Structure formats: structure tokens, C-alpha cells
């Protein structure tokens, strides 16, 4: 037996998550959504993962994509994160700036970093789908501060770290 979803979400609001945008060639044009479930899995081989809800309209559009992109958003990209989190909008319309990257993956301009990945594994787990991808291309963007999701809000994290974890 597990706690209910409301309790889990309430407790995990204290956990800061990096804000990224998942993009993929969709069934009817580019598809994308803001996610906070992105995580590195392995350095050798280079693997990453993300989860999307079964009810996500983006999942329905990208579930069969062989490639996907992950864009790491910077502290100044709150508007972009909110646009890609808003259902029913054309997320790739102006003012969104993007280009087609390797493997036909749509990539957003001006991010902190980009990854282009080949889908390696896909699992249905509970009410979500877990996707593991092999990183085929990884590029840093301009240096900058991070954007995180904390206590139900998207917020910038700025300034130098006060301590380093060895």
C-alpha cells in the first residue's frame, strides 16, 4: 500500500527539481512540454530519463518518436517554461525561437544546454511512462543560472554556491 497522490505531491513540493523542456518530432509537427522529471541515468553509456503522465497530450504525440531533445532552461527562461507547460497553446509559435537539430529533433534557442537522445527503453509505470534515452549529441549553451521547480512554482536560482559537495 502507498500514500495517495495528493499526499505524495504535497510532501515532494519541498524537493527542488531542475526545469527542462522535452521536445520531439510529433505526429503532426514538433511537440514539446516542460518537465521536471529529467534525470541522468548512466555516464557510460550516456543515458538519461524522463517521465510523462499517461494523460499528457504531449505523450500521445511523442510516444512513438525514436528521438527526443532535452533543453536545460536558464533562470531567465521562466516564460518559456510556462509556455511549454500550458496545455492548448501552440508552443512553437512566436515568440518561441527554435530550430531543427540532429535527427529532426526540434531544439529551443538560447538554453543552458541541449541533449539529443535516441529512445532506448520505454516502460509504463503506474500512471506514467518512463523513457530512457541514449545521448547521441550534447552541447552546452551560454553560461547562466538555473531554473527550478520548488513549492509549486518555477523560480530562478541565482548566485554563487555557498558550498561544494565533494
Report the predicted TM-score, pTM, of the whole model to 2 decimal places.
0.89
Reduced DSSP (H G I as helix, E B as strand, rest coil) percent helix, strand, coil of the chain, to 5: 15, 50, 35
Domains and CATH numbers, the chain: 5-152 (2.30.110.10)
Q: Give the model confidence (pLDDT) of 27-85 as tens digits.
A: 789 999 999 999 999 999 999 999 999 999 999 999 999 999 999 999 999 999 999 99
Grid coordinates given for 111 = 538554453
pLDDT above 80 (res 15): no
Work out the pLDDT band at 90, boundaries 50, 70, 90: very high
Query: Which residues neighbour 66 within 8 Å (Cβ) at sequence distance 6 or greater?
Result: 103, 118, 119
End-to-end CA distance of the chain: 37
Q: How far apart are CA 97 and CA 163, in angstroms?
A: 35
Q: How far apart are CA 49 and CA 141, in angstroms?
A: 20
Length of the chain: 166
120 contacts 41 by C-beta, under 8 angstroms: no
Residue 13 has a CB neighbour count (10 Å cut-off) of 13
Q: Provide φ and ψ at 45, rounded to 5°.
A: -75, 160
**Which sign does the torsion angle of CA 6, 148, 33, 133 carry?**
negative
Q: How far apart are CA 66 and CA 25, in angstroms?
A: 9
Work out the pLDDT band at 106, boundaries 50, 70, 90: very high
Q: How far apart are CA 106 and CA 109, in angstroms?
A: 10
**Residue 142, pLDDT score:** 83
pLDDT above 90 (res 8): no
pLDDT above 90 (res 5): no
pLDDT above 90 (res 103): yes
Work out the pLDDT band at 162, boundaries 50, 70, 90: low
Amino acid at each position: 500500500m502507498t500514500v495517495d497522490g495528493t499526499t505524495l505531491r504535497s510532501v515532494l513540493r519541498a524537493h527542488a527539481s531542475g526545469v527542462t523542456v522535452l521536445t520531439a518530432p510529433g505526429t503532426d509537427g514538433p511537440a514539446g512540454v516542460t518537465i521536471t522529471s529529467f534525470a541522468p541515468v548512466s555516464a557510460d553509456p550516456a543515458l538519461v530519463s524522463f517521465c510523462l503522465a499517461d494523460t499528457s497530450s504531449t505523450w500521445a504525440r511523442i510516444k512513438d518518436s525514436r528521438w527526443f531533445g532535452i533543453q536545460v532552461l536558464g533562470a531567465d527562461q521562466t516564460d518559456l517554461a510556462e509556455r511549454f507547460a500550458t496545455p492548448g497553446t501552440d508552443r512553437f509559435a512566436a515568440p518561441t525561437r527554435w530550430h531543427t537539430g540532429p535527427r529532426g529533433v526540434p531544439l529551443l534557442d538560447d538554453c543552458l544546454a541541449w541533449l539529443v537522445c535516441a529512445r532506448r527503453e520505454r516502460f509504463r509505470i503506474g500512471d506514467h511512462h518512463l523513457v530512457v534515452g541514449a545521448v547521441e549529441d550534447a552541447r552546452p549553451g551560454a553560461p547562466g543560472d538555473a531554473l527550478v521547480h520548488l513549492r509549486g512554482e518555477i523560480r530562478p536560482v541565482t548566485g554563487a554556491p555557498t558550498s561544494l559537495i565533494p
